[in-house]
Amino acid sequence: MTKKYFTELANYNNWTDRIIIEWLKQINDEQWEQPIRSSFSSVRQTTVHMVSAKKIWIDFWTKAADPVYLSAGFNGTKDELIEIWGKASDDLQNFIENYPEEDYQKPVTFIYPNGRQGQMIFWQTFPHFVNHATYHRGQLVTLLRQADFSSFSNTDLATYFIKNNLL
């Protein structure tokens, strides 16, 4: 695991988030809130979970004083959530560019939503973070299709590498 590898994963994660944000800007409030059976009950709830996970992992990595799961009580608008998402993307970029490669072997302490504490090595948490986002992006595509949205573009890792001449 190298800094270049983690930097590209962060870049990929932010690239896909920008695409998703553009999709979400195209849907109306009914599509945003429409009840749909899935892990989370709507496009809104799935998106809140995704943004919450991104933000909380950054808080864990940076040892933020009081990390709070956004999903525990976010009541804002879609635009407010998108603004938080954009800031989290900037924070991720800044963090990964400045996180020393020699710290990749250090443990990261985190708190599960139920309050239980856990610990993993940084190099394990970062791919988990990216994989988690990918999993929920797939769910979001399915939810958006069910809400009659169809203006998708490809967000897989190979497409990112090809579009950015990284192959």
- The domain spans of the chain are 3-163
Q: Which of 167, 5, 13, 30 is nearest to 101 (CA)?
A: 5
What's the predicted TM-score (pTM) here? 0.94
Q: In a structure prediction context, what are the per-residue pLDDT tens digits for the chain, which is 167 residues long?
A: 799 999 999 999 999 999 999 999 999 999 999 999 988 999 999 999 999 999 999 999 999 998 989 998 999 999 999 999 999 999 999 999 999 999 999 999 999 989 999 999 999 999 999 999 999 999 999 999 999 999 999 999 999 999 988 76
CATH architecture of structural domain 3-163: Up-down Bundle (1.20)
**What confidence tens digit (pLDDT) does each residue in 85-118 have?**
999 999 999 999 999 999 999 999 999 989 999 9
CA distance 14 to 16: 5
Measured from the Cβ of residue 136, the count of other Cβ atoms closer than 10 Å reads 20
* Residue positions forming the annotated binding site for a divalent metal cation: 49, 132, 136
Residue 107 forms beta bridges with which residues?
Answer: 121
* Residue positions forming the annotated binding site: 49, 132, 136
Measured from the Cβ of residue 142, the count of other Cβ atoms closer than 10 Å reads 12
